[in-house]
A and B are shown apart, each in its own frame.
Chain A
């Protein structure tokens, strides 16, 4: 993968990353803000995600209906996403139309109106989005497990926010949040595709450099204290299926142990892709698939670890077979973890995980949108250099490293066990 990128910080603090790729007449433009649910105090949960929605309500220059149509008319795609640590908006367009993305993103960085009526209309839309999530048992279980895992740190709540806050947040709360965090000195612009770097840089300056720097965004420095013992949560619901969600506290991406933890995760539940756009492979040869699915304890098992600024969680999710219990599945997982703690895994297994990671990286950087994504995404929790070096670091992991992180992090006192218990209400039709 080419390391050939241009990296420049504008006078207002905006970090710009550019990468020329001439394989298709397409440009992908991403603006990343260092703000997410991690920056939300109690009472204002869900506010960053709500801002993301409001960014689509337009500005005096680009009213909502005009924005949508302008992108769609050019055959582009655009969307936005909010996560624990960041918010990103992207447009991928035919190369000759990229002016539109530059112009509208620079504009909505400062000129969103937050019309009170639109805020109210969006309130019901977001509550509806939350209700849609609540229809999924795994959302409800995940929300409780996360809350149990983080008593202090704002990773405590889901990105979508708590219903009570969605009902009470005001237009002023939203506008204040917008002006505080969505400023050039808290943003990264990543653009990849069919352009000339000098020319693109000039255009970026024209659009973005006039936006005034904001104050330094405040951070909630509420570090989660080490967990002192196992925590268990149960969620009941009117379904027929039992889920087990097992979460262990693990360090953040930039911590040296994160790399052996990626290998450990790969051995346990199969290789996962840090890229949100996924595209993984099956995990039928992973240790937990063999133990749980082949052992007729679970219908499926998957797992993964997130790329985050602060320490987050490694999660293992299982659908329990109807005739089995979550406790039986948990015991079997514990046996597999113990195997890794008792003896270092074979070197071949680690080398295999390395090859899998290389292939997933190749798949995950296939498109221009992916390339632009990775430049900005990696800057949200580490740096682009971290991303470029990850395969090499994975190749250096030893069996003893994997054993050590299994011993250090995969302990009962460091985990949350979440179980979704069905209440067996039968389906009826009228």
Chain B
């Protein structure tokens, strides 16, 4: 197990390096620069700014200097939010995004699993079909459609919840968290249902039942753990879905998280901010996938012995 986890960890470093390199050069290739604006800047001021931010050096030198900086966890000053460094912006945005993403993730897994198990137990009944149809709709509706609908209903028509903004209060988290988790709830429900049905038809469950084990014990002690395996493996993609989803959700609900920094950073050609967020996202996804792999190996012994 230790050997396996170390091997997985070692592969993360080149992945991250490739990510950094590609992102660094891609954002620089994009036309337009951080200081282009409607009115533009006089040439001498632009030159001043470029010198200040060391943009006047050859790109390759800038690249290696950047690698050196990030090795010291210094992501540099933001080009757009000139009163802030990227470290400050991420430190300020990450807790917001984590809170939102965490709530959405928990919501998705708890609610999704419950629905999935329930549908599996009622397999091929009307309620099964109904839940799964709703789940299918949930998957199909993108969250940039669901979010405004939620705002329209709960913030504008009913006035129960705020339409946007963020101050750390529960009220402001409810709508964005639901909007973010909706497609995932549906996805988790479908996965759980499928694997649960498969497990319930397997021979070891038949054996357990034949021994006269009570049904709830069959479900909780024997069926649930193997049935959750595919759901666990969805954790990695789900985290990615949360990240990409939060980019949209944070904009719609005007939430000052990493996602909105990412979008605005790209639009503003805020090179350092975009890089900071890319690296942050990259580390996060790699870490989560690593965690999933370990979890998977722990849940299914075949995986750790195979390697």
* A is bound by B: no
Which residues of B pack against A, CB within 8 Å?
A: none
Which residues of A pack against B, CB within 8 Å?
A: none
